[in-house]
Structure 1
Amino acid sequence: MPPIPPIAPPAPSPALAEREAQLRRLSVDLEASFLSEMLAQAGLGESRESFGGGVGEDGFASFLRQEQAKAMARQGGIGLAEHIFESLKARNNV
């Protein structure tokens, strides 16, 4: 007699999967905002004394910093997004 195969858990509904994806995006965005502020406090993007980009560099430094923070968060960041995601899942019964 062949062994009985294990029963696979039911697949999540598309609405539930979409809600989880939305919560994950929100979590990563929040971590990116946090990282952007931390990078600003660390001095990333401040204009240099000599051979800097002038007023243009100052005006666009925050955009560069935000994109760098988004890239960091998408690659795992400091793990903050995962904690936020789990907390949001628990609060929203997902």
Structure 2
Amino acid sequence: MASRVPDILTYSPTAPAAARVRGSREAKAWSNAQNFEQVYLNTMLGQMFNGIGEKSPMGGKQSEAWRGMLVDEYAKTISSQGGVGLANHIYRELIGAQEAAPRRLPANTSPR
């Protein structure tokens, strides 16, 4: 899935305050967290339609062509409206991992 959350979602009311600064590492982490939540929702919602029979309104060979697009749009809509809360947890874990990671100095800065 090559979907990307639009920049407008980065500045949504559900975004943490630090993630509202365009181009910051917090904004990138928030965007990645939202993208992950969207992929999760797409997978979860896609499973709902697996057992649909031929006689149901959304069943049959004719609807298989657009069912994936419908599920993708459902996932985008849910994540743009605040999602299921998964993005907040992922964002906190991403920021925590970045803060805990050791900082590396550039290779050419050796003490003299």
Which interval holds the TM-score relative to the shorter structure? 0.5 to 0.7
1:85 deviates by 0.5
The alignment yields a C-alpha RMSD, in angstroms, of: 3.0
1-structure distance, mates of 2:75, 2:57: 25
Aligned length: 80
Unaligned runs of 5+ in 2: 1-17, 101-112
Residue correspondence of structure 1 range 38-49 to structure 2 within 5 A = 38-43=44-49, 46=52, 49=55
Unaligned runs of 5+ in 1: 1-11
More helix by percentage? 1
Residue correspondence of structure 1 range 1-94 to structure 2 within 5 A = 18-43=24-49, 46=52, 49=55, 55-93=61-99
Greater Rg, structure 1 or structure 2?
1
Contact 1:31 1:77 in 2 (8 A): yes
What percentage of aligned pairs have identical amino acids? Answer: 30
Larger relative CO (CA 8 A, sep 6+): 1 or 2? 1
1:50 deviates by 5.8
1-structure distance, mates of 2:22, 2:58: 49
Q: 1:31 to 1:55 in 2, by over 3 A?
A: same
**TM-score normalised by the chain length of structure 1:** 0.66
1:79 deviates by 0.3
